[in-house]
Amino acid sequence: MDQTRRKKDAPFPSKEQVLEFIRESPTPVGKREIARAFHITGDGRIPLKHLLRELEAEGAIEKGGGRRVAPPASLSEVMVLVVSEIDPDGETLARPAVWTDEENPPPRIYMQPEKRGHPALTPGDRVLAKLHRISEKHYEARTIRKLDAGSTDRIVGVYEPGREGGRLRPADRRAKAEFVILPQNAEGALPGELVVAEMLPSSRFGLKQARVVERLGAPEDPKAISLIAIHQNGIPTVFPRAALEEAERAEPPTLAGRTDLRQYPLVTIDGADARDFDDAVFAEPDEDPNNPGGWHLLVAIADVSFYVRPGSPLDRSAYDRGNSCYFPDRVVPMLPEALSNELCSLKPKVDRACLAVHMWIDKDGALKRHKFVRGLMKSAARLTYEQVQKARDGEPDDTTGPLMERVIGPLYGAYACLIAAREARGTLELDIPERKVVIGPDGKVAEIGVRARLDSHKLIEEFMIAANVAAAEALEAKNAPCMYRVHAEPARDKLEPLREFLKSMGYNLARGQVLKPSAFTRILEKAAGTPESELISTVILRSQAQAVYQPDNLGHFGLALTRYAHFTSPIRRYADLVVHRSLVRSYKLGDGALDDQEAEKLDRIGEHISMTERRAVTAERDAMDRYMAAYLSDRVGGVFTGKIGGVTRFGLFVTLSETGADGLVPVSSLPDDFYDHEEATHSLVGRRWGRRYRLGMPVKVRLVEADAITGSMVFQLTEADGEEQPAGRARGSGDPRPMKRGSKIRPPMNLNRLGGDRPKAPRRRR
């Protein structure tokens, strides 16, 4: 209904008509706007005033600033927002900075792509924004100004000289604005050089200014890709001098105050390219006659807490980093190499300090009891996943051959019990393929493939999970502080759309019951081997909560565990170091214990290290995107097969089958139509011709653009679902238009939201 076309002599509008007008308005409206819409003049304004009062008294509308009205729980037209996440489809989402309704979640707010001159937005940013209501629970928001400088004080980009000084083209694809660099601020940067610059105060008109603070070299240098990701995400790369000196002063451990574990043939099992070995394992049949078929497990972890004491320079720098970051060509470690690659690395045939846990499990894999000790160990061998798997499959080598009977065989025997326990408790089994980049001798991408997922990987994962559970149980037994790894159940507002989508695909996720991860696994098992298998895995993954660190235990939904804490990787995760310190304190194991000051601020520590983990994930993923774009840059114009991996209002993200690379098909390049985004079905649907582009649909695309600097790729759809699309002109242009350089968008998130135990090949965060 178009009320604005009513004749002036039309009858006075009904309450329902006025309420419909208010509901359909994208912003709060005033009495004057309502009167104008219904051609109410003169004395008619008085009954309109009474009608609005009735609607307000009934709770149908709420009055806001400037006497403007809107439906209940509507957001103000202008308000402060906090950017909450980049969702799996690449949308930037925000929430109100203040939300007092604890019973209901806030509306979903989509941030519009940033205009030229506005900084790119990342999770945690606060902005003053103008809101436009799409529906009762959905808004669009446009940034008026950013309230916190955050990480945008520094920009990584390419320097190009100009007539009035240089220009900086940001490497961040979300940033559309270039910056002026005056000659006196260029610091000798060469044309086309990759630089780090800091923003300078400038007038509000024209391009903003920046000053070069670091030169990174030529963009085509193989090292540039990871350097961009590191600097762009603000990851610290230089250790303070005091921390380096403290690490250099560290001395090899002695047996004093430790349990001698050197009689156990502990082994490390890691990726072939690993440089830090922080966990070693051993297993043997339990000799207790009351535990037939049971096993004795020993997991020894590098004793980082002995070397990194609370409040020390080493501790402060480790806390600042939060975790190590892993890139195809380098590692940015949490600890200096004197510790991470030497004294805290469980190298073979040398004495190393460790914090170890003895565990006894029954024949069904249930943990019966455990005991923590501070020990001195000597690794019997440094093994790789592939090496151990080959030995298990009947191809031992000179290293694994002598270890088969005493070490490798018993490890797999205990693993069989642990995996049985995992299956019995019903974990969420999302086996999403992980892509890996292989760097050649010249530093360039030699190959992009799928990371192998062997039983040897799963063996170590199960041993680590068992040790993590034991650590949480041990601290709870002492009523001691603990940094839990929490993975909450999926949020209610995500479950209902998921149920409807699964129902449309012929799968049932029951209501009215306690949700367990096994409910999802049953659906995944039913879908296995079908064309929609990968699609089902993707939508279930996207419904999951993000795992975080916090001192309050909410359990781990994905692993179906009531308590879980990270204990097994203190070289590269600060959370594990906190757990080690609490164990040392609770069980009186010596120096390096958690102090009262640190125990009182576990909430803040948990928030910080959860943030640094997200920062590392983003940086690693940004680097992967750039490596993919560099690898495909000489194949622009080529046609590839793939699947739609993300559906947004502004286009389709397509994941290529060959490499796993992600790129955007802009909505403007789709056949001529106006496309609606159906969030519930993950589809773009043409209003006129009914074309439907759905998540998981097989497609063929032509590569239009691949920019290794920004990591962005743009595709043009040539075929979908095996059928050629009708020829048509793109909306607003004669030819499909590639996305502008530096676009804000990013590919869908293909990371495991459950978190992980061993982000070192394979990088799985549980």
H or E element: which one contains 130? Answer: strand 126-135
Residue 320's closest CA among 333, 331, 329, 307?
333
pTM for the structure as a whole = 0.76
Total Cβ atoms within 10 A of residue 11: 9
Asked if residue 497 has pLDDT above 60, the reply is yes
Helices 574-586/455-477 angle, 10° precision: 40
DSSP per-residue codes, 261-314: -TTS--EEEE-TT-----EEEEEEE---TTSTT-EEEEEEEE-HHHHS-TTSHH
pLDDT at 548: 94
pLDDT at 88: 62
pLDDT at 382: 97
The region, left, alpha or beta by phi > 0 then psi within -120 to 50, assigned to residue 426 is left
Least confident of 420-424, 431-435, 453-457, 496-500: 431-435
Question: Contact 635/708 with Cβ under 8 angstroms?
Answer: no
pLDDT at 95: 85
The whole-angstrom separation of Cα 173 and Cα 714 is 12
User: What are the CA-CA distances from residue 463 to residues 294, 412, 417, 436, 468 (Å)?
Assistant: 15, 11, 11, 24, 9
**pLDDT by residue (tens digit) across 618-637?**
899 889 999 999 999 989 99
DSSP state of 323: B
The whole-angstrom separation of Cα 295 and Cα 283 is 7
pLDDT tier for residue 764 given thresholds of 50, 70 and 90: very low
pLDDT tier for residue 122 given thresholds of 50, 70 and 90: confident
Mean predicted lDDT score pLDDT of the chain? 84
Question: Per the CATH hierarchy, to which homologous superfamily does domain 78-146 belong?
Answer: Nucleic acid-binding proteins (2.40.50.140)
Backbone φ and ψ of 472, nearest 5°: -65, -40
Terminal C-alpha separation, the chain: 52
Fold of 150-219: OB fold (Dihydrolipoamide Acetyltransferase, E2P) (2.40.50)
The whole-angstrom separation of Cα 695 and Cα 683 is 6
The whole-angstrom separation of Cα 162 and Cα 158 is 13
Asked if residue 452 has pLDDT above 90, the reply is no
**pLDDT by residue (tens digit) across 344-373?**
999 999 999 999 999 999 999 999 999 999
The whole-angstrom separation of Cα 200 and Cα 208 is 7
Mean pLDDT across 421-447: 85
Asked if residue 765 has pLDDT above 80, the reply is no
**pLDDT by residue (tens digit) across 466-480?**
999 999 999 999 999
Asked if residue 148 has pLDDT above 60, the reply is no
The whole-angstrom separation of Cα 638 and Cα 661 is 14
Residue type at position 307: Y
- Architecture of the domain whose range is 3-70: Orthogonal Bundle (1.10)
Asked if residue 35 has pLDDT above 80, the reply is yes
Question: Contact 253/376 with Cβ under 8 angstroms?
Answer: yes
Question: Contact 663/710 with Cβ under 8 angstroms?
Answer: no
User: What are the CA-CA distances from residue 350 to residues 59, 73, 96, 401 (Å)?
Assistant: 74, 65, 55, 21
pLDDT tier for residue 738 given thresholds of 50, 70 and 90: very low
What long-range pairs does 111-115 form, CB within 8 A, spacing at least 24? 111/81, 111/83, 111/140, 111/141, 111/142, 111/143, 112/140, 112/141, 112/142, 112/143, 113/650, 113/743, 113/744, 113/745, 114/143, 114/174, 114/175, 114/176, 114/744, 115/142, 115/143, 115/176
pLDDT at 740: 35
H or E element: which one contains 723? Answer: strand 723-724
Asked if residue 3 has pLDDT above 50, the reply is no
pLDDT at 83: 85
The whole-angstrom separation of Cα 708 and Cα 575 is 34
Sign of the torsion angle spanned by Cα atoms 122, 128, 132, 136: positive
pLDDT tier for residue 514 given thresholds of 50, 70 and 90: confident
**pLDDT by residue (tens digit) across 214-243?**
888 888 887 888 998 998 888 998 899 999
Residue type at position 558: G
Asked if residue 2 has pLDDT above 70, the reply is no
- Let me know if domain 636-766 sits in CATH 2.40.50.140: yes
**pLDDT by residue (tens digit) across 541-567?**
888 888 999 999 999 999 999 999 999
Question: Contact 166/189 with Cβ under 8 angstroms?
Answer: yes
3-state secondary structure 463-495: HHHHHHHHHHHHHHHCCCCCCEEEECCCCHHHH
The whole-angstrom separation of Cα 401 and Cα 362 is 28
Asked if residue 375 has pLDDT above 80, the reply is yes
Number of residues that make up the chain? 766
Asked if residue 712 has pLDDT above 80, the reply is yes
Asked if residue 578 has pLDDT above 70, the reply is yes
